[in-house]
Structure 1
Amino acid sequence: MSTQSTQPVHSPEEGHVVLVVNAGSSSIKCSVYRVVDDPAVEGGTRAILGAGGQIEGIGVAPRVVAHMADGRLIVDETFPVAQVADHDGAFRLLRLVLAVGLRDTPPAAIGHRVVHGGARHSDAVIIDDQVIEELAALTPLAPLHQPHNLSAIRAVRQAAPELVQVACFDTAFHATNGVVQQLFALPYSYFTDGIRRYGFHGLSYEYIARHLHSVAPDIARRRVIVAHLGNGASLCAMKEGKSVETTMGLTALDGLPMGTRSGALDPGAVLWMMASGMDHDAIEKLLYHESGLKGLSGLSSDMRELLASGSERAKLAIDFYTYRIAQEVGKLAVGLGGLDALVFTAGIGENAPPIRAQVVERLKPLFGMEIHAEANAANKDHISTRESRVPIFAVRTDEEGMIALHTARLLREAMRK
């Protein structure tokens, strides 16, 4: 494995070094951050990216790509399947690659994105045996994500058992939601047993809540709806920088249609599938992997492909997608008692001007929103006109940076004990 020469990420005295791990089904992303005190930013600390990389095609066609924060290439190389057959092998290799950027400043701790924290975890937590057991029990609620999050945690324990590991949850930011917002209309005993609306993408929303103090300080604590639109998609209503309500529920299936996930669905449709002979695995595959934009278009889950396609089915999928987003914005605005700003973020939200324009056009009669065509096309931070009654923003999220901040905070607290 050949790598280009790089400089150290930083010197040891310049804050905590944190390695952030975001594990998916066939890939692991790692980023190296330095977390420093900065009274000028919201929260008093800042995460500075030093290097990042990912290994994709685990067990199929492994490829490692890593860069320093300034864009310098550390490595871009493919590997034999036997060398990277599973997440354990992938993590060991990726950690070795990023060590080139770290040089003599190894990480003080590792932070993991964990999709589901359940009712027990409303904040990040240092990982121990009990935490692993609790998170494993939540796997049925996040079957696409939780097993891979746990695989990465176990791989780190094997490769670097001396390192502190921290779990940071996509559900935690929504712990501020009220009981009414968490309920399903089932017997109340289900709620007490943990069957409730948890919400997801919380690390992204938490980052946006902090970052708005820099981008738009006049609206940061007001009534804001954030649209996290990526392969997974949801909305969050925020007031005073806290989550009030969100579109996802018990699992990451609920709410908006997504790349391959159905979004909100009449439970009767699932009963019909069962009555027609489909078993649990077949229904799970349909709802998680074959629905959403992919299922409606019959073409792809990738919004870029759908926007480039001239097919009627692709147009139908896009129209349904933007219609449902606008619908959910209206619903969340009821929970907020009005709307002071709309923020788009994540892959589609940050990079697809036509989607933003269609959503805003649908919302214009309700909220007097007007998009600035040139600013929107250029993916500017502020994309509404001066005449727009509700300001509109497109803001790049940084879930990994948020994980680094939580990890460094818990590390400091542990060191004080």
Structure 2
Amino acid sequence: MNIFVINSGSSSIKYQLFKIPSEKPVCSGLLERIGLSESTITHKVFIDNEEKVIKKRLTLPTHEAGLLEVAALLTDKNTGVIKEPEDIEVVGHRVVHGGETFAATAVINDAVKEEIKRLFPLAPLHNPANYTGIEVAEKIFTKAVQVAVFDTAFHQAMPEKAFRYAIPQSFYKDLRIRAYGFHGTSHKYVSQRAAEYLHNPKARIITIHLGNGCSMAAVDGGKSIDTSMGFGPLSGLVMGTRSGDIDPSVIFHLVDEVGYELDKVKALLNKQSGMQGLTGFSDMRDISKAIAEGDREAEMAYEMYAYRIKKYIGAYTAVLNGLDAIVFTAGVGENDENVRKRACANLDFLGIKLDDERNKVPSSGLKEISTENSPVKILVIPTNEELEIAQQCYELLSK
């Protein structure tokens, strides 16, 4: 089954084409700066296990113009992987927010599209862009079944005691204010891989997604029972530019006593805080370099970042009533050995014992970095949200 996966952003489109059940993409790509000057396309084709990279600089005024260029690349007579756009059988769309309506992947129809639009206020930076991707794909891949895979769906298994906030009930019943959680596609993918590795479908697993955005999930027998992000993607861990957990009194103080407008507070906590606010850098590679050069503020920020992860490990181990594995994933989780080392330090009493040498060895696939006698397995598993989306589409349509 030819499944084309699209992740549509406000000025970008990431994509991969899979011939499921094969897990290897036949092509992938990224369109950037859509609607801006000098847009770019980076298109990668995998032919006979060899990667061919095609790069273009051009003007792409709209998402439709961008996806038409992609369709041309997919059907190119020399490097194309399909004969015509009609060969695409399914288009799988990443949709960030599914609210309480979508606890699973859904075939897109008019009702689904209206619900995605209704949820725009809950994810104003993402859902409108995801919706645009759907409308454009419907025009270009006319014979394909369009399918939505929601970031929030995996966390819909959380019990009410975990997702409710201690505010008047009307705010939940009338306004649906509750914790939804995000990065669900990633948490689902790596927790499944971990359970397969452990040969234990009932495994109790903490998944730790560390990119520019960061979140953790407590997964019990394949179901998310708690997660660190909430109503929006601001709460929980220290992130690249987001503050993570902060006392709401700080917001009141900034507004009432310092004179901040709410828009300024919003920008502060979402775009100017986290590691960016603490160090001047949002990229962990830059922060690691600053630490090596003796920057004390960078060192403290690194400690805060790892400390917050450790606090959630303790909390989620309690929620799960024990632990079988911890999984690190995403850009920082997969590549920063020092973050993993600091986050797991001094947790022996929980059965978490990291092997320093294993932790240092680079790997492009799943690797175990716990000691031989560690009761809890510590794993690094590269996330693959596009593959997870393709597989969920396949499972839905193969029933």
Summarize the Cα distance change of 1:356–1:135 in structure 2 as closer, same or farther, 3 Å threshold. Answer: same
Summarize the Cα distance change of 1:366–1:60 in structure 2 as closer, same or farther, 3 Å threshold. Answer: farther
Please, which of 408, 413, 416 is the counterpart of residue 394 of structure 2? 408
Q: CA deviation at 1:359?
A: 0.7
The C-alpha deviation readout for 1:202-257, integer Å capped at 9, x for no partner, is 11111113222442224x52211010111111111111111111111111111111
Q: CA deviation at 1:31?
A: 0.1
Are the aligned partners of 2:44 and 2:51 in contact in 1 as well (CA < 8 Å)? yes
The C-alpha deviation readout for 1:318-348, integer Å capped at 9, x for no partner, is 1111110111111111110122211101111
Q: CA deviation at 1:188?
A: 1.6
The C-alpha deviation readout for 1:71-101, integer Å capped at 9, x for no partner, is 421412222xxx2123332222223223343
TM normalised by structure 1 equals 0.86
Are the aligned partners of 2:194 and 2:327 in contact in 1 as well (CA < 8 Å)? no
Mapping 1:54-65, distance limit 5 Å: 54-58=30-34, 59-65=36-42
Are the aligned partners of 1:55 and 1:64 in contact in 2 as well (CA < 8 Å)? yes
Q: Partner letter of residue 57 of structure 2? A: T
1:72 aligns with 2:56: no
The C-alpha deviation readout for 1:265-287, integer Å capped at 9, x for no partner, is 21222223333443343232222
Please, which of 91, 108, 112 is the counterpart of residue 110 of structure 1? 91
The match for 1:94 is: 70
Are the aligned partners of 1:54 and 1:94 in contact in 2 as well (CA < 8 Å)? no
Indicate the SS of the match to 1:284: helix
Q: CA deviation at 1:196?
A: 0.9
- In structure 1, list runs of 5 or more residues that go unmatched: 1-15, 37-45
Indicate the SS of the match to 2:130: helix
Find the aligned partners of 2:349 and 2:121 in 1 and give their Cα distance: 39
Q: Which moved more, 1:232-241 or 1:92-101?
A: 92-101
The match for 1:128 is: 109
Please, which of 382, 390, 393 is the counterpart of residue 396 of structure 1? 382
Please, which of 387, 395, 401 is the counterpart of residue 373 of structure 2? 387
The C-alpha deviation readout for 1:174-217, integer Å capped at 9, x for no partner, is 11111101110011222223111111111111111322244222
Q: Which moved more, 1:62-71 or 1:224-233?
A: 62-71
The match for 2:28 is: 52
RMSD between superposed Cα atoms in Å: 1.9
1:283 aligns with 2:262: no
The match for 2:249 is: 268
Aligned residues: 383
Q: Which moved more, 1:276-285 or 1:233-242?
A: 276-285
The match for 1:222 is: 203
Q: CA deviation at 1:313?
A: 2.3
Find the aligned partners of 2:110 and 2:136 in 1 and give their Cα distance: 14
TM normalised by structure 2 equals 0.90
The match for 2:355 is: 372
Please, which of 280, 289, 292 is the counterpart of residue 274 of structure 2? 292
Please, which of 109, 123, 126 is the counterpart of residue 142 of structure 1? 123
Summarize the Cα distance change of 1:365–1:410 in structure 2 as closer, same or farther, 3 Å threshold. Answer: closer
Q: Partner letter of residue 206 of structure 1? A: K
The match for 1:326 is: 310
Are the aligned partners of 1:53 and 1:98 in contact in 2 as well (CA < 8 Å)? no
The percentage of counterpart residues that share the same residue type is 36
The match for 1:313 is: 297
Are the aligned partners of 1:379 and 1:394 in contact in 2 as well (CA < 8 Å)? no
